[in-house]
Copies of this chain bind each other. A is one copy, B any other.
């Protein structure tokens, strides 16, 4: 609640690799090396992506010995979901405003 958002969650999800990371972490928390082993990019690349995701509040990390375990942050995901809900409800209002016009061509 009292957290700044240095990076936008949407920008963070704009990259396919980062979405793959999110999908991986959705299954279970993983260390950086595990993620790099699965993904088609190098470990430093994963590290950089994780930084972006962390700044966006989508993941949290936890040091376990020499390893660093990342996990999904449900709060961050929920925040984006709420935004979509807002767009969705407003879109419905927009639909109500302009009733069907028969002389127009649908896309």
Contact = CB atoms under 8 A, between A and B. Distances in A.
A105 B63 contact: yes
Interface in A48-107: 54, 60-64, 71-74, 77-78, 80-81, 84-88, 90-95, 97-98, 101, 104-107
Copies of this protein in the complex: 2
Interface residues on A, range: 35 or more
Nearest to A105: B63
Instruction: Specify the main secondary structure of chain A where it touches its partner.
Output: helix
A23 B104 contact: no
A29 interface: yes
A5 interface: no
Contacts of A10: 13-14, 19
Interface string A4-36: 000010110111100100110111110000000
